[in-house]
Structure 1
């Protein structure tokens, strides 16, 4: 979780002033009683109201609560803001816990352009085979998947890459860049077959 905290702080520091104000405004909107802390109930109510149910999972709130006092201060809420903006609210399909560090993804599910769902599991569940997924699944850790996605993208014709970059420059956020470009530059089946996730 410390890596996500550091990324969140760096992300926040580079935000324009208006976005920092938006982060503060979001915090104040969650803090219904105005005590400078977001309780679990305030957290859940705000996220339900804003249809952000993928972040309601209790293990995310627990991970965000760095000091373990049962509530989130603004510093802890910056991490929540980052998770919301970056799409890092991933839950392990094996043990149902928040994926705060390295994790494994099914490359076929990741590159399937016909579906929004992906299949991620923590390192412990992958190593211990504590998951149920399709038999021919090829799993990659998130860093390898990102690097191999870039390699496949670079193989696409330059005109196509430029067109995709130009049209999506304003809408892509943090780690979503690879996902969005990969799905548009080559077919999902072709990309999944090229990404065999060999790290040796």
Structure 2
């Protein structure tokens, strides 16, 4: 099985390729979602910013243990170990949480 850095790298590549093939309008939706989550507008998200993000909250309501997993997920996605996620890191987050729900509305 792949180690964590290798798995993170694979997910980042897949999510970037997926993002690049999305219709422009959906790419803009994800950029806007990032800006909304980024309360202070610095282009980076702290772990606390994600706690109230809609798809994570929806996952919690569907039985996914978000509160106990958000620290692990955040650490996994924080590729440069900065303690914050930039948009590139968030492409993986969007890919993990949004892709299964939007795949049916995308004609790639």
Q: 1:48 to 1:8 in 2, by over 3 A?
A: closer
1:170 and 2:101 matched: no
CA displacement at 1:50 relative to structure 2: 4.4
- TM-score, length of structure 2 as denominator length: 0.72
Alpha-carbon RMSD across the aligned residues, in angstroms, is 2.4
1:76 and 2:96 matched: no
1:5 and 2:18 matched: no
CA displacement at 1:86 relative to structure 2: 3.4
CA displacement at 1:47 relative to structure 2: 4.3
- TM-score, length of structure 1 as denominator length: 0.41
Partner of 2:50: 43
Partner of 1:59: 72
Q: Which has the higher contact order (CA 8 A, sep 6+)?
A: 2
CA contact (8 A) 2:44 2:84 kept: yes
Correspondence for 1:15 among 16, 19, 22: 22
Where 1:52 maps in the other structure, the secondary structure is helix
Q: How many residues align?
A: 91
CA deviation map 1:76-99 (0-9, x unaligned)? 111111111235xxxxxxxxxxxx
Higher strand fraction: Structure 1 or Structure 2?
Answer: 1
Counterparts of 2:75 and 2:26, CA distance in 1: 25
Counterparts of 2:55 and 2:97, CA distance in 1: 13
Q: 1:22 to 1:48 in 2, by over 3 A?
A: closer
Unaligned runs of 5+ in 1: 88-168, 173-200
Partner of 1:27: 34
